[in-house]
């Protein structure tokens, strides 16, 4: 179901992936210089592992994506979303940034931001892919596909972990 701007409506019963960008789709060495986003990691480029994520999500057409990246706060939701390849962009149904009062958001861990969105929207099946596991409760560790901040989804181990967790999510 689509809403204004071509963004699908969030459906709580559908499998949901909370997606970070830095340390997942490219190394976590990203900075804003004026209006430009710059990756300061030699030999890498922005969103270089997005095609890997596209491939891993292909078997799961019903999966929806919620942006849990700080890009949504810094650039705005539409600008953050626009950096994704079309097949990922079409899956995006929202961002955690919109879930919390702005001043409070910066003081929450990524896990707290995601849990707030999960509770607010009553998501029953969810998974996060992120390079930061600070504050994650033991009871939800299975919901986290943790990546290395430098190598993100560029490693076989990270891809295997996400693949396994996506299978678990869709049982």
Any domain includes 6: no
pTM, entire model: 0.92
Residue 121: domain span: 12-169
Predicted pLDDT of residue 74: 87
Q: Which CATH number goes with the domain that contains 137?
A: 3.40.50
Any domain includes 1: no
Q: What is the 3-state secondary structure (H, E, C) of the chain?
A: CECHHHCECCCCCCCEEEECCECCCECCCEEEECCEEEECCCCCCCCCCHHHHHHHHCCCCCCEEEECCCHHHHHCHHHHHHCCCHHHHCCEEEEHHHHCCHHHHCCCCHHHHHHHHHHHHCCCCEEEEECCCCCCCHHHHHHEEECECCCECCCHHHHHHHHHHHHHHCC
54-112 confidence digits (pLDDT tens): 999 999 999 999 999 999 988 889 999 999 999 999 999 999 986 555 567 678 899 99
Any domain includes 37: yes
Any domain includes 5: no
Any domain includes 33: yes
Predicted pLDDT of residue 99: 55
Any domain includes 59: yes
Mean pLDDT score, 119-144: 95
Instruction: Give the total number of structural domains in the chain.
Output: 1
Predicted pLDDT of residue 2: 41
Any domain includes 17: yes
* Structural contact between residues 111 and 135, judged by C-beta atoms closer than 8 angstroms: yes
Q: 156-169 and 50-57 are packed helices; what angle lies between their axes, rounded to 10 degrees?
A: 30
Any domain includes 80: yes
Q: When comparing pLDDT for 5 and 85, which is higher?
A: 85
């Amino acid at each position: 179901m689509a809403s204004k701007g071509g963004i699908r409506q969030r459906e709580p019963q559908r499998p949901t992936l909370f997606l970070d960008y830095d340390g997942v789709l490219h190394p976590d060495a990203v900075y804003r210089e004026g209006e430009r986003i710059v990756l300061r990691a030699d030999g890498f480029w922005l969103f270089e592992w997005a095609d890997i994520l596209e491939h891993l999500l292909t078997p799961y057409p019903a999966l929806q994506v919620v942006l849990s990246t700080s890009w949504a706060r810094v650039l705005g939701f539409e600008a953050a979303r626009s950096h994704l390849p079309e097949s990922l962009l079409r899956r995006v149904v929202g961002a955690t940034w919109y879930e919390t009062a702005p001043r409070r958001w910066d003081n929450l861990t990524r896990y707290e931001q995601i849990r707030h969105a999960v509770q607010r929207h009553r998501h029953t099946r969810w998974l996060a892919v992120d390079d930061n596991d600070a504050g994650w409760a033991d009871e939800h560790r299975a919901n986290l596909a943790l990546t290395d901040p430098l190598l993100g989804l560029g490693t076989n181990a990270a891809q295997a972990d996400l693949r396994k967790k996506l299978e678990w999510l869709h049982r």
